[in-house]
Amino acid sequence: MTVARVTLITGASSGIGAATARRLASRGEALFLTARGGVDGTKIPALDAVADAARAAGAEVETRIADLATPGQAETVVRAALDRFGRLDRVVSNAGFAVSGTLRETPEEMFDLSLQVIYRAFLDLVRAAEPALTAAPRGRVVNVSSFVVDQVPGGRAFPATAAAKGAADALARTLAVEFAPKGITVNTVAPGFTEKESHGHSALSQTAWDAAAALTPAGRLAKPQDVAAVIAFFLSDEADHVTGQNMRVDGGLSLI
């Protein structure tokens, strides 16, 4: 079957990435879904389950386990998507994690790991995908960022995460200008505190999640589907003239 578009989503095994895959899945769509599979491979079935659900909705789906902490894996993933589908139209750089704590509490290695998985993998993905995105009728890049870049809600800081996400956000803005003449849009979605699936990676205790929901003006955490809806808009044909934007999906958290 000829596919209308090919979308690469990193971190697709749970939460926002999985919700985005489920939202995009339909006949004519091809999805290339990646995740790390957990630190010990135990989360590979979670990615397979998302892929099965997307296939059941009519999409063509390929999965790839790749640890983006390993230099070179982002390029490998893009090559694998191109080998499988022969084209690539849309990249959603979503894989990531958060590290909560003060500067002194944050282990030194988490600064480098955050930069590698969040910022560097985004850079490498986009660099590898650029020729294919340029050839696509509507090239799209979405960078999944976070409220932590410019907020310390309730005094809870995420310095390693903020630095890495902030670097990716700055890169996304400058690439939006560079890529606009090529017909590629580059946008950022910044979730507020967002519900985790049971197999997601949580940086907070249940008490801290309850406090986060209470702190959010909307009175609840974002759902992964709330964030996926905005990602889907940035990926859509309707967003042809929208680039370099950062849309917060945070129930008003950024306004207080």
Ligand X SMILES: NC(=O)c1ccc[n+]([C@@H]2O[C@H](COP(=O)([O-])OP(=O)(O)OC[C@H]3O[C@@H](n4cnc5c(N)ncnc54)[C@H](OP(=O)(O)O)[C@@H]3O)[C@@H](O)[C@H]2O)c1
Binding site for ligand X (CB under 6 A): 11-17, 35-38, 43, 67-69, 94-98, 117, 144, 146-147, 191, 193-194, 196-197, 200-201, 224
- What's the closest the beta carbon of residue 11 comes to ligand X, in angstroms? 3
- CB of 34 or CB of 136, closer to ligand X: 34
C-beta nearest to ligand X: residue: 15
- CB of 15 or CB of 251, closer to ligand X: 15
Q: How far apart (Å, rounded) are the C-alpha atoms in residues 137 and 89?
A: 8
Residues 6+ apart with CB under 8 A from 198: none
Are 244 and 173 in contact by the 8 Å Cβ rule? The answer is yes
Residue 72 gets which letter from DSSP?
A: T
- What's the closest the beta carbon of residue 99 comes to ligand X, in angstroms? 10
- What's the closest the beta carbon of residue 2 comes to ligand X, in angstroms? 29
- CB of 16 or CB of 129, closer to ligand X: 16
Strand partners, 8: 32, 91
Buried b (16+ CB within 10 A) or exposed e, 75-84: eebbebbbeb
- What's the closest the beta carbon of residue 79 comes to ligand X, in angstroms? 16
Look up residue 240 and give its two tokens.
């042809």
- What's the closest the beta carbon of residue 250 comes to ligand X, in angstroms? 8
Amino acid letter, residue 246: N
Residues 6+ apart with CB under 8 A from 102: 157, 159
- CB of 59 or CB of 117, closer to ligand X: 117
- CB of 35 or CB of 167, closer to ligand X: 35
- CB-count exposure of residue 204 (10 Å: 0-12, 13-18, 19+): middle
